[in-house]
């Protein structure tokens, strides 16, 4: 089915072809609601909730706050999108899935594994299922499993990232898949978002700039570090997770570690690598050692999500006008 047919169910509710990326320990109720009421798809990982019960509470709260919302043009809110970790290490997968099925989401993104086990029940509940992928081979497998859309993790994405150039990745996948594509990595403003569309994508992720909004759950020190950092401060390393991960060098230094002398493979036990006192006070990845994408160079100040999205809309319109004039 062509991408336009799949996305037509909610395209007119979007102010931008944009997803506020689901980010561990960052995306919560306030950020999702702010994104959706401004015409941006609001996504969050279900594991950000302490339990399946809290996931149910979050979805109920978000739905209640958005149900009667419309923006100045009268459009209803953009969709809410849950992100399911489908790897076998997620002991809550089955329970979280059942919660989602009760809430009948419009869109779900699967991560860290094949979407195959959850596609049928989510389709029966009316959801579009997008799978995030970091290689052409994984994209082919997700399409074969029945994913409706793909999130292409490219070299510029924050956190656990891809490694392919976005131009190459998008065009290679477009050669065999005509469904919805989402570009993840390097989207710092409306100009980059318009470029992603010109490349062949239907939507894009914006993550790092949403971390630096007042509605995000991120530590205030984290937010301010993003403002003072640039793309030169991003370090690609396997040291903390065992997978290729884009992390902020200043946060590694603040934890007492040398960014230029980290293990090459495998998550390190920080308490054994740094003498900082009691083990319970040791720095923790994600909570003390923070991630960001190459788009950090586009973070200039802390903003409300409303203002950040409004600026992105203006940039996107400017970029679109230039393309038409060209």
Residue 223 lies in a domain: no
Residue 40 lies in a domain: yes
Are 63 and 192 members of one domain?
yes
pLDDT for residue 103 is more than 50: yes
Are 47 and 92 members of one domain?
yes
pLDDT for residue 305 is more than 80: yes
* Tally of structural domains, the chain: 2
Residue 224 lies in a domain: no
Are 198 and 318 members of one domain?
yes
What band does 241 get if pLDDT is binned at 50, 70 and 90? confident
Q: What is the pLDDT of residue 69?
A: 66
Element (H, E) at 44: strand 41-45
Least confident residue range of 47-56, 59-68, 110-119, 316-325: 316-325
Are 189 and 53 members of one domain?
yes
Percent of the chain whose pLDDT exceeds 70: 90
Residue 287 lies in a domain: no
User: Is the Cα dihedral 219, 17, 124, 130 positive or negative?
Assistant: negative
Q: What is the pLDDT of residue 287?
A: 85
- What pLDDT digit, counting tens, does each position of 162-197 carry? 999 999 999 999 999 999 999 999 999 999 999 999
The answer to whether 249 and 296 are in contact (CB under 8 A) is no
Residue 290 lies in a domain: no
- What pLDDT digit, counting tens, does each position of 256-299 carry? 999 999 877 654 444 333 333 334 556 677 888 999 999 999 99
- Give the Cα separation of 27 and 66 in Å (integer): 16
Residue 292 lies in a domain: no
Q: Edge-to-edge, what's the strand order for the sheet holding 245-248?
A: 159-160, 245-248, 234-237
Bridge-based pairing of strands 107-111 and 234-237 is unpaired
- Give the Cα separation of 294 and 159 in Å (integer): 11
Are 17 and 84 members of one domain?
yes
Predicted TM-score of the model (pTM): 0.92
The domain of 261 spans 230-281
157 burial class (0-12, 13-18, 19+ CB within 10 angstroms)?
A: buried
Are 212 and 234 members of one domain?
no
The domain that holds 152 is classified in CATH as 3.20.20.70
Are 29 and 121 members of one domain?
yes
Are 265 and 320 members of one domain?
no
The residue among 188, 34, 30, 184 whose CA lies nearest residue 111 is 184
Are 166 and 78 members of one domain?
yes
Are 46 and 184 members of one domain?
yes
Residue 139 lies in a domain: yes
Are 170 and 58 members of one domain?
yes
- Give the Cα separation of 98 and 56 in Å (integer): 10
- Give the Cα separation of 157 and 159 in Å (integer): 7
DSSP string, 151-200: EEE-TT-SEE---S-HHHHHHHHHTT--S-EEEES---SHHHHHHHHHHT
Are 240 and 204 members of one domain?
no
Residue 293 lies in a domain: no
């Amino acid at each position: 089915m062509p991408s336009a047919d799949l996305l037509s169910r909610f395209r007119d509710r979007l102010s931008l072809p944009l997803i506020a990326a689901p980010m561990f320990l960052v995306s919560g109720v306030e950020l999702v609601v702010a994104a959706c009421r401004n015409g941006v798809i609001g996504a969050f990982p279900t594991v950000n909730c302490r339990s399946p019960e809290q996931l149910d509470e979050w979805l109920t709260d978000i739905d209640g706050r958005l149900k009667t919302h419309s923006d100045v043009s009268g459009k209803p809110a953009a969709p809410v999108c849950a992100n399911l970790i489908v790897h076998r290490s997620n002991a809550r997968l089955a329970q979280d899935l059942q919660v989602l099925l009760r809430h009948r989401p419009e869109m779900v993104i699967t991560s860290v594994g094949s979407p195959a086990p959850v596609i049928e029940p989510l389709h029966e509940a009316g959801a579009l299922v997008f799978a995030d992928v970091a290689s052409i081979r994984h994209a082919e497998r997700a399409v074969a499993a029945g994913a409706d859309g793909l999130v292409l993790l490219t070299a510029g994405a924050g956190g656990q990232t891809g490694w392919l150039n976005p131009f190459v990745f998008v065009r290679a996948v477009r050669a065999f898949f005509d469904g919805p594509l989402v570009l993840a990595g390097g989207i710092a403003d409306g100009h980059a978002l318009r470029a992603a569309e010109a490349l062949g994508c239907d939507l894009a992720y914006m993550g790092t700039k949403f971390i630096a909004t007042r509605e995000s759950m991120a530590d205030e020190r984290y937010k301010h570090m993003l403002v003072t950092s640039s793309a030169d401060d991003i370090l690609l390393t396997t040291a903390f997770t065992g997978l290729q991960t884009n992390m902020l060098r200043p946060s590694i230094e603040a934890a007492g570690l040398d960014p230029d002398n980290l293990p090459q493979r495998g998550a390190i036990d920080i308490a054994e690598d740094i003498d900082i006192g009691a083990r319970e006070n040791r720095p923790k990845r994600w909570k003390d050692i923070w991630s960001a994408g190459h788009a950090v160079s586009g973070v200039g100040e802390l903003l409300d999500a409303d203002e950040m999205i409004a600026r992105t809309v203006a940039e996107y319109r400017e970029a679109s006008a230039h393309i038409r004039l060209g």
